[in-house]
Structure 1
Amino acid sequence: MNEKIELLKTTDDYIINLKSQISKAADCFQSGEDEKGFNMVPSIAEGIEGIVKALQVTKDVLKQDISVDDLNEKLNEIVEAIENQDTLLIGDLFQYELIPIFKNIEQCVNSSVK
């Protein structure tokens, strides 16, 4: 049980870092620094994957259920925007969709480790 709580504490740190990365990438896409933004996408994707895995492993110690359906839906929209090279949409999805989802996940994780 303690290992799972520790994992959640680490996950919380990852989420803080990830939100910062997503925000920087969103800024890049919104200010025309597309290449810089695209270069950040793989590490953001890795971060998201790691957080989702941690949430699955710690599901039984989370105080509330965290659904990743919303997240998956937004990620699909982002993939579509990337395929269409719609960088403004990518930036908006990062900033206005992904960051709030991770803020929500962060709150759930925080309430579970206290």
Structure 2
Amino acid sequence: MRLIINKKNTEFKNAISEVKPLLAAIIQALAEDNLELSHLLVDGVAVYQDYEDYLSDQIETIAEVEAITLELKLLIEETLNSAFDYIGNALGLLKPLAEAYYQSPGPDAWKRLAELFEGLGWLLDTMNRIDQIDQLQVYILNYDIWNEYVQTLKGLNMELKELEQAMLNQDHVLIGDLILYEILPIFEAAEEKLRFLVPTGGAHVS
């Protein structure tokens, strides 16, 4: 059987006598890289406790044991928390921003619009980066909800292009419409999905 930890492979025999050495190798690797163990992935099955018993019971058929460390898991959680807080803060600002463009937008409105444009790009970029992680379902709280979140945010791609064109044309009414009728509903839906994906349990942390 093969042990994978931090992209390094080590071979062990499929024998009861190899279980303790395998676990010891994991502990040593974690200590060397200052990481913590999240769980083991044994032939695709996530195991969170009683590692020795589980490995011993399955020892004859195990092909691969992967140690999932907290480093990547924490990075994903922190990124999703940031997205959740960003969207939560933005929700209270989008309607007033849209209303500013239905009137006569001043320098502050254009500054806030530029910040929104950057924020939309950041949300899409971080979503794409996380979605490309191998075996993402191992690291994320609810993979089905994650896929729904991805589909929700993909709606921003078109809005981002239209918003960019409206900014270039200084089409104030279209900018207001895009913010109020397209971006705001997407943000509301995305926040609802993120409530099931963040460790805070859907509470915004200031």
Query: Which interval holds the TM-score relative to the shorter structure?
Result: 0.7 to 0.9
In structure 2, how many angstroms separate the alpha carbons of the residues matched to 1:91 and 1:35? Answer: 15
Task: Report the residue type matching 1:15 in the other structure.
Answer: I
- The higher-RCO structure (CA 8 Å, 6+ apart) is 1
In structure 2, how many angstroms separate the alpha carbons of the residues matched to 1:7 and 1:64? Answer: 13
In structure 2, how many angstroms separate the alpha carbons of the residues matched to 1:52 and 1:69? Answer: 7
* Deviation of 1:82 (Å): 2.2
Runs of 4+ with >3 A deviation: none
SS in 1 for 2:92: helix
1:16 is the counterpart of 2:88? yes
- Confirm or deny: 8 A CA contact 1:12 1:109 kept in the other structure: yes
1:67-78 matched pairs, under 5 angstroms = 67=151, 68-78=153-163
Of Structure 1 and Structure 2, the greater strand share is in: 2
1:25 is the counterpart of 2:97? yes
CA RMSD in angstroms, aligned pairs only: 2.0
Aligned residue number for residue 64 of structure 1: 146
- Confirm or deny: 8 A CA contact 1:25 1:36 kept in the other structure: no
In structure 2, how many angstroms separate the alpha carbons of the residues matched to 1:7 and 1:56? Answer: 12
- Confirm or deny: 8 A CA contact 2:120 2:160 kept in the other structure: no
* Deviation of 1:110 (Å): 1.3
> Sequence identity, in percent?
25
What are structure 2's unaligned runs of at least 5 residues? 1-72, 202-206
SS in 2 for 1:112: coil
Give the structure with higher Rg (CA): 2
TM-score (structure 1 length as normaliser): 0.81
Of Structure 1 and Structure 2, the greater helix share is in: 1
* Deviation of 1:83 (Å): 2.7
Classify 1:69/1:54 alpha carbon distance in 2 versus 1 (closer, same or farther; 3 Å).
closer
In structure 2, how many angstroms separate the alpha carbons of the residues matched to 1:20 and 1:93? Answer: 16
1:43 is the counterpart of 2:125? no
TM-score (structure 2 length as normaliser): 0.49
* Deviation of 1:9 (Å): 1.6
What is the number of residues matched between the two proteins? 114
Aligned residue number for residue 169 of structure 2: 84
